[in-house]
Structure 1
């Protein structure tokens, strides 16, 4: 007897964390997509160096939670696995679109008539890089700058179809010189792939491993900053 996997659509609550701006209205909103086995509220600790002025930082949490350490009952979250991956991608793109719309609607209620809209920055770290790229490719949200930190554009994302969208998002690639998951050869291959597809980007390096570097983050957060 054949077993046939099926799906139904349900409503569920999702969790995200926010560093509210010190000044209102927000002039810049960051959507920070965490890496594998991280949690949104803990991930936001790394953004304290740029939590200044009218900058709002929002960290969505991946839809899959699991125990990292059963003895300590430590929990982390992820964006997807290889199991039923296309459904997971569709779900998280829809989730991020809805969260983006929700945050911008909240901000619009605080803005005076005629004031310019907030600048939107999307930053993906590690596994969150693939999530951000697919959100750009398949979602509807406006992202003015995209920062890909510590990973590559997904190999299965067709650049012939989606490369222009990545270029339009003011693409920035960031990697540490000692990143244990993303070595120099992988960086060169990734950049060559993007150049070959005509995707415009700016590269950033820092002396460190697979983590968010405070100095590089500050450079990226400078008005018009390119590091």
Structure 2
């Protein structure tokens, strides 16, 4: 029996630190991992905007929210699951591109776009950029994969001459040093020239690394 789909508008939630304007020099789009929420995730990057009024940080939230345990209590969000996967990918690609267009329209033409994906968010931002052809000034894939299902031609178009950084903790049980090395090799084969950053730690974000990525 065929699946039926109907496209309908819905409300997407995001967190923002700083105000986009003609004076904005840097716009950071940061996408969380599985089971997180934007209001928690943005805290890792909020200091960038607090320290510099010309920087704006935006954390979109995955379109699917759920209870982390049982039927009540803490809530997390997801970008996609294995069920109806292609529709969910199309929805989050459209969401991220529309939001980015909305934000960039409020900024001057010289604004620099940095895109960060963490864990599940790495696949999310990679598909968004590859499917739309948008090229940021800097793409950071932190503790997660560039999806193998992205067409090689689209991947190469995105990655060639792109400032690209891979980050992971040396004790990350999900995305450790071996997977990091494999990912760097894979992206190099696709035309990328990834810089690799590691730190002492686990599946987590670290402010000193973010500071280095921001050049501060």
Fold shared, TM-score > 0.5 on shorter chain = yes
Mapped contact 2:21–2:106 kept (Cα < 8 A): no
For structure 2, which runs of at least 5 residues remain unmatched after alignment? none
| Aligned residue number for residue 112 of structure 1 | none
Q: Counterparts of 1:48 and 1:14 in 2: how far apart (Å)?
A: 20
Write out aligned runs for 1:16-55 (5 A): 16-20=14-18, 25-51=23-49, 52-53=51-52, 54-55=54-55
Write out aligned runs for 1:49-68 (5 A): 49-51=47-49, 52-53=51-52, 54-68=54-68
1:167 aligns with 2:160: yes
Q: How far has the Cα of 1:47 moved from its partner?
A: 1.0
TM-score, normalised by the number of residues in structure 1 = 0.87
Q: Counterparts of 1:148 and 1:66 in 2: how far apart (Å)?
A: 25
Q: How far has the Cα of 1:92 moved from its partner?
A: 0.6
Mapped contact 1:67–1:73 kept (Cα < 8 A): yes
Q: Counterparts of 1:103 and 1:147 in 2: how far apart (Å)?
A: 19
Q: Counterparts of 2:12 and 2:71 in 1: how far apart (Å)?
A: 26
SS of 1:30's partner is strand
SS of 2:115's partner is strand
1:151 aligns with 2:162: no
* 1:178 to 1:91, Cα distance in 2 relative to 1, 3 A: same
TM-score, normalised by the number of residues in structure 2 = 0.92
Aligned pair count reads 214
Which runs of at least 4 in structure 1 moved beyond 4 Å after TM superposition? 21-24
| Aligned residue number for residue 12 of structure 2 | 14
Q: How far has the Cα of 1:197 moved from its partner?
A: 2.8
